[in-house]
Every structure is written in C-alpha cells, then in structure tokens.
Structure 1
Amino acid sequence: MATFKFGIMGTGGIAAKFADAVQLIDNCEITAVSNRTVEKAKVFAEKYHIEKVYDEFETMLANQYLDAVYIATTTDVHYRLVQLCIKYKVPVLCEKAAFMTSTEAISALDHARDEKVFVMEAMWSKFLPTYRQALRWLTEGKIGRISVGDFKLGNIVAQDPHNRFFDPQLGGGATFDLTVYPFDLTTMLLGNEYNHVDATANWRYGVDITDHVVLHYSTYLATMTTSFVAALGNQFVIYGDGGKIVIPNANGATEAFLYDAAGQLIEHYQDTVTKNGFTYEIEEVIRCVRAGKLESPVVPHQLTITSARLYDRIWEQAPEQ
C-alpha cells in the first residue's frame, strides 16, 4: 500500500506527540513541516527526519503533494488554516478546539463539504479503547439506570497573561483547551439527546479560567467543571442506580473501574495495548481519506459545530474589556 503523506503546521508539544505517533504506523510518514519560525521547523524536521521545511503555511501546500495536513498551531489561526487547506483541496486533521465560534465551524465545514475535502477535529480521546469499554458497560446496563455524570478536568497554570492559556489573541481560555474534552466525551458515553445546557464561567485576563457546564437529559444530569486555576484532577464518573463507572486520567484514559451499588469493585479494565493514543485518530484519517469520506463517523462535523455552539454560550458571558 502506498505511503500516506502528512504535512504538519506548527511545531509545539502537541505536534511532537503526533509525530511520535506517526512513527508507530505502517506506511505513514510526515514529509513536510511548516512553522512561522523557520528555525523551530528545522529543529523539528531534523528530529523526525522530515525532508521539507517551510516558514509559510501556504507555500508548503502549494509545493508539496500531501495526503493530509495536521494543524497543530494555536487556536486563533485554526479557522484560517483549515480554509487554506480546503483551498488547496488537502484533507485536514485540526487540533481541538478546531474553531472558536459556531460561525467559523459552520463556514469552514460547509466549505469543505462543497469542495469535497475531508476535515476532522483531532479529538484523540474518543478513539481510546478505555472509552469503548466504558460504552460497552453502559450499553450492557452494568450500572443500571444512569443518574449523574460528573467530569472534572483542571490544573493550576502559571499566572502569566502572555502565555497561550490566558492570551485571548492566541485563542486562550479553558473553553478551547479543556472544556472541549469533557463535552465531547460526555456526549459520547451519555448521548446527544439532552434537553438544554447551562453554562457559566469565571474570567481573568480576558479569557474564561473556570467553566461549569450542565447538560440536562430527561432523567439525569451531566456536569462538567474545568479550570486553569484549580487542581481539579482529571476524572470522569458515571453514576447509576446499580453502580458506577470511574475513569481516572479521563483525558488520557488508560483504565476504567466498574463498581456495583454497594461500592464493591466488579471489574477493572486496563489498556495494555496503546503506546501513543494519537495513533487511533491518525488511522481514522487515513481510513476516511482513502475511502473518499468527507467526515469521520466518530468525530462528525455536527459534533464540532455543537461543541462550538457551547463555546458561543460561554463567551457571550465574557465581561467587557
């Protein structure tokens, strides 16, 4: 089978994890990298044995044959770069949050569909085997009737208004960096059929630093709390009248615990296969592109748009600067 050729836009830590994952996949390689600081791109290319280096994103697209591009830049330029890839008809895997508003999401994804270009948001956690196991437990009724979902994700970030987490000009804020995960993973396990959403946030430096979201289902609630200023940990718990499922390290999700109604451990699932969780989303892109699909059934366009509508709801509460 022909080698699948990726280009990368951006060379930060997330791009390094992606490049490490590519090395684990047969018949897949990175053939070009672009970054606004060419020196960083050269260092990245040397480390991962990438042949072509560019300091202009569009120049890479214009001069390289690429099966897909992975966008690993700061959130503020995702929309522009996705549209640029669509212009050159290059399939896209864009790091989360793919877009900052629902207007951006709808515009880009409609354009991609019109131009018949594959686009997928890089929600790697949705592909992890641990979530597949948790979904099986729920489907099999192992915890009975669901009563509450609770997802907490938070850590204390250095209080520097110029870093990407707190800089609104770089797409900073808990919404785009953290809240996207609990929302996508909660709706994966508990469903999209909620009746309405409550969302509130605290603000500092012009961005949301703590978010609290409640999804109101017909017979249960799902709560999500994310923060840059509180060590909330990283845990997803789903409670039912017959037990509970606990997923520690919920974003990376290497294990899950099933308890009965008395709090006794029934089953412990451990993922002993995954070496780099990014491999699954990369393999999904390869499958979809080779099959001529325009979107992934695991991370469909509608999920990306729905997530962006949640961002709208939070950011409409932002205090005036």
Structure 2
Amino acid sequence: MSKTINWAIIGLGSIAHKFATDLLTIEDAQIYAVGSRNQAKADKFANKYNAIKAYDSYETLVKDTNIDAVYIATPHALHKENTLLCLEHGIPVLCEKPFAMNISQVNEMITMAKEKNVLLMEALWTYFLPHYQFVLDIVKHKPYGNLIKLEADFGFYRAFDNTARLFNKDLGGGSLLDIGIYPIFAALSTLGNPKDIIANASFFDNGADSSCHMTFIYDDSVTASLKSSLIQDTPTNATYYFEDATVKINDYFHSPSTVSIIKDGKETVKDFNYTTIGYNYEAIHFGNLIRKGQTESDIMTFEFSQHLITLLDKVRGLINLHY
C-alpha cells in the first residue's frame, strides 16, 4: 500500500506544470516520465521537475513498463486518442477535463477501460478539494435545510487570439468546454440532472463561443443560474441558497478557496489553509485507487462523467455550437 506511483505526463502546457508542481508535494509519488511532440520541450520540462525520462513521442512513452499512471493534459480534442493509446498499453489514465469532446467519445474511452480492466478517471480536480467536499457535506446533511437555488460563474477577459488553443474551436476552445464545465459541475454535483435547460451564447468571429448563460430548472422551482465568459471578468463564485442560510464559495470557487456561511445576517468564513495549488488531492486519490487495484473512482465515477458531458452536449445543442 506504500508503493510509490511512477507518474507520466502527456501534454506539457500550463496545467501540466501546475499538476507537476503539486505531484512533487506527494511523498509516495514521483514524476517518472514526460512526453511531448518536441524533444527540447520534453527535456526542459523533465529537468524542471526532475523526471527520469523525457520522450518526444507518446507512442514511445506508453511502451515504458515502469509507468504506473499517466496524466493527460493535451488539448480537449486529443483526449480520446491519447487516452485510448494509454489504455491499450494497460496504463491507468487520469485525463484532464473535459473528458472528451462529446458523450460518444467518452463512452468509447470508458468501454475500452472496462475491456482492458484498467483504471480511468476524469481529472476534475474541484471534486477532490476539501472546501468543495465541505459544501457537498452541507448539501447532503441539510443543516440549513434544502438547497433551493444555485448561482455559479466562471469568467475572465482574454484578448482574442485566433492562434491560441483557448480560442480554437477545432481543439475544443471557447468558454463552454474550457471553463463553463465548472459551473455545470457545481450544479450536477449538488442538484443532479435538471429537468430542463435554457441557454444562450455569444460567439467570436471564428465560431468559438465567447460567453454562455445557462439556467438549469429542477422540480419545486429550484434553479441553477450558470455563466461562463472569455470576454468579461466575473467574480467566479458559487453561491448556494438554502432555506435557512446562504453558503458561498469565494473567489475562485473551482480552485482552493474559502467558504462563507451567511445566516441570520452574520457571515462566518471557513479557511481550509491550503498550501498547494490543489492538484495533489486528485492525484493522491488516483494513486490510492491504483494501490487498491480499483478500475473506477468512487467519487469521479464513469456515470458522473457521462452525465457531465451529456449536459455539455445538451447546452451545445441549444446554442448551436458544433465542433
């Protein structure tokens, strides 16, 4: 049970750097190998994080039998093919969100994982953060009554750049898949699947969505008001309105943050004293799954990932966004 997990990282962009930084804080994990399509980039990344191996080919990397787990941080549109490559070689995969581009791709990935009996999990790090688990516990045990409304947003301004991945629709760029997934996750993880969805969006000239406004409608007049934007800085909070109190995850709700509980006109702020970027929590969970011989997470389940991508697909249909 104390086995050190030899991690490999595929796709060496900004999120990979954050993930690698936090892997270094985990005692029973090490960055064993990194992979890029560019040897110089792989070497530079490996040197920075003391990785033992640096590969200029994913196909070569997956043949290294010393790898225990791979973290995939390539652009969204490549998640499926990269995941299938690793699963084919029997390597457990932690794939960055969104899991893939649509439900069909996600189902294909899950099917292969089951056929190969290999661990696969979507890397939606928010689910594993202590402050978010704290809020989920409030929702579950209802100390403030039932949850009756949710408001969640994620927005920041970036000058449009047609050459950047963030704005490249063919790579899954745009606000919805990149950051809109977080407000949708906030709704799905606390309120479940809605019975109806209202959505509208604005678009860049290249067809990628620049912002998206969504309303999820549930039974008993419960609603979730959700927003994503690449053209406006927003508070990036998640506010849960209960019958007897308001619980607010402060800036930036999807990452390490504080939680305010507002009841009877008084606000109490709970600080979780984070010391890392926050990616270590999902990595620790994934490592423990490997040690236990499990092939599916009991937190980020296949079913949850399927529901999440299905909601994204439904919103895309409503706003007429096609990849």
Q: For residues 35-80 of structure 1, give each alpha carbon's deviation from its aligned partner in whole angstroms, at most 9, with x where no partner exists.
A: 0122111110011111111111011011342111000111111110
Q: Does 1:213 align with 2:188?
A: no
Which runs of 5 or more residues in structure 2 are unaligned?
none
Which residue identity lines up with residue 228 of structure 2 in the other structure?
T
- Is the counterpart of residue 264 in structure 1 residue 266 in structure 2? yes
Amino acid at match of 1:156: Y
- 1:110-149 map, 5 Å: 110-149=111-150
Q: Deviations over 1:211-255 (max 9, x none)?
A: 222222212111210111111121000112312011112011421
Superposition pairs of residues 285-296 of structure 1, within 5 angstroms: 285-296=286-297
Question: Could you tell me the percent identity over the aligned residues?
Answer: 27
Offset at residue 319 of structure 1 (A): 6.1
Q: Specify the alignment match of 2:320 in structure 1.
A: 318
Q: Which residue of 1 aligns with 2:247?
A: 245
Once the two structures are superposed, residues 235-291 of structure 1 have per-residue CA deviations (whole angstroms, 9 ceiling, x without a partner) of 00011231201111201142101111x4321x3210114423111100111111121
Shift of 1:93: 0.4
291 and 203 in structure 1: CA distance in 2 versus 1, 3 angstrom threshold: same
Q: 1:216 to 1:19 in 2, by over 3 A?
A: same
Q: Secondary structure, in 3 states, of the residue corresponding to 2:215?
A: strand
Q: Aligned in 2, Cα 1:274/1:217: closer, same or farther, shift over 3 Å?
A: farther
- Distance across 2 between alignment mates of 1:270 and 1:140: 21
Displacement, 1:150? 0.3
1:76-225 map, 5 Å: 76-188=77-189, 190-204=190-204, 205-219=206-220, 220-225=222-227
Asked whether the equivalents of residues 209 and 321 of structure 2 are also in contact (C-alpha less than 8 Å), the reply is no
Tell me the secondary structure at the aligned position of residue 224 of structure 1. strand
Aligned residue for 2:47, secondary structure, equals helix
Secondary structure at the aligned position of 1:242 is classed as: coil
TM-score, scaled relative to structure 1: 0.94
Letter in 1 for 2:244: G
Cα distance between partner residues in 1 of 2:185 and 2:275: 21
Partner Cα distance (1:290, 1:162) in 2: 41
TM (norm. structure 2) is 0.93
| Distance in 2 separating the partners of 1:197 and 1:30 | 42
Q: How far is the alpha carbon of 1:160 from its aligned partner?
A: 0.9
- Counterpart residue number, 1:228: 230
3-state SS in 1 of match to 2:80:
helix
Deviations 1:138-173 (A, max 9, x none): 344343332210001101112111111111122212
> How far, CA to CA, are the matches of 1:58 and 1:113 in structure 2?
22
Task: Summarize the Cα distance change of 1:185–1:253 in structure 2 as closer, same or farther, 3 Å threshold.
Answer: farther
Does residue 49 (structure 1) correspond to residue 61 (structure 2)? The answer is no
Unpaired segments of 5 or more residues in structure 1? none
1:282 aligns with 283
The amino acid across from 1:147 in the alignment is I
Q: Mean alpha-carbon deviation: is it higher for 75-84 or for 239-248?
A: 239-248
Q: Aligned AA for 1:276? A: I
Relative to 1, partners in 2 of residues 1:290 and 1:2: Cα closer, same or farther, differing over 3 Å? Answer: closer
Counterparts of 2:147 and 2:321, CA distance in 1: 36
8 A contact 1:150–1:224 mirrored in 2:
yes
Check conservation: 2:95, 2:121, Cα contact below 8 A. yes
Provide the C-alpha distance between the structure 1 equivalents of 2:170 and 2:110, rounded to a whole number of angstroms: 23
